Structure 1
């Protein structure tokens, strides 16, 4: 019985759970996102090491932004680089990636500026601010590469919209209809 199955059974080379490059994430942006996750995590850990603060609102805002950037960028990285992307049921990945990356870049920049201006200038706080600005820089680079490679995802480029994953049929032009009827 094993002879029957051995001749037709072949391993599937595309069964890997990681899909890099994919239609939503190339190798360059994959590595940039990995470094975004790492820098956001380091900024968050350094921020947690700050023992006291004069005005804690800047510290708490930086904590919120760095933790959010770390967790959601990690989630986005996992989704965009694995086969889980197809199981989630979201069809607007480019728009989601574009808005998220730009939004986090802006929030990280604001949080880094606010925390840089309102801290006690200890070594840990200055390191935290430095990693915040490095993470901001990477998010800006990622956003710029997205714009360069894909353009703005909101802009209609003449392609028909999709409805539930199925392209909407385009109505035939009147000149073509007349030629077919003639």
Structure 2
């Protein structure tokens, strides 16, 4: 009896998988943007903690709005950073990560700006509240830098690229040979 060989042998070279779960740079996240995302998480977290330490509020609605935005920014940016810096984004199956990342970052910058302005205009004036507002504005600037860097390096994600331009600026030349047999015989 012949040696037991597998009937089906591998026909492709197997890809060596990295044991690392955090890989930067990836297709969607370069090293600079990863650093910006980490700073966004940290500034959002500090703004959230400072806001949580506030014990008294004269008008609590701006405080609660700022709390919601800073907590949301902290949690979702951390989640987005983990998804973009790992291979999990490939398993989730969403192919629009760049667009999703850009929209999220731009919206967080806008909401953080609004929440910081509202909280700055209507707070008790304590040092904790002023520090929370300062970190809110710093987080806003960081989100804006992230969105700007994204546009600078990858372009605007919703720009239409369906326009076909001629290579030398001239109109394309019509084909000389007809594809239909009847038209070729009639000519």
Tell me if TM exceeds 0.5: yes
Structure 1 pair 118/88, CA: closer, same or farther in 2 (3 Å)?
A: same
- State the distance in 2 between where 1:158 and 1:11 align: 34
- Runs of 4+ deviating beyond 6 Å: 179-182
Structure 1 pair 29/174, CA: closer, same or farther in 2 (3 Å)?
A: same
- Please report how far the alpha carbon of residue 14 of structure 1 lies from its aligned counterpart in structure 2 after TM superposition: 3.0
For residues 11-26 of structure 1, the aligned pairs below 5 Å read: 12=16, 14-26=18-30
Q: If you compute each CA radius of gyration, which structure gives the higher value, 1 or 2?
A: 2
Provide TM-score, normalisation by structure 1.
0.81
For residues 54-65 of structure 1, the aligned pairs below 5 Å read: 54-65=58-69
Matched, 1:154 2:148: no
Provide TM-score, normalisation by structure 2.
0.78
Among candidates 77, 101, 104, match of residue 100 of structure 1: 104
CA RMSD, aligned part only?
Answer: 2.5
Match of 1:33 in 2: 37
Among candidates 41, 44, 53, match of residue 49 of structure 1: 53
Among candidates 103, 121, 128, match of residue 124 of structure 1: 128
Match of 2:168 in 1: none
Unaligned runs of 5+ in 1: 1-9, 160-172
More helix by share: 1
* 1:15-52 superposed Cα distances (whole Å, 9 cap, x missing partner): 42222111111000000000100110010011000001
Question: Higher mean Cα deviation, 18-27 or 132-141?
Answer: 18-27
Among candidates 121, 145, 155, match of residue 149 of structure 2: 145
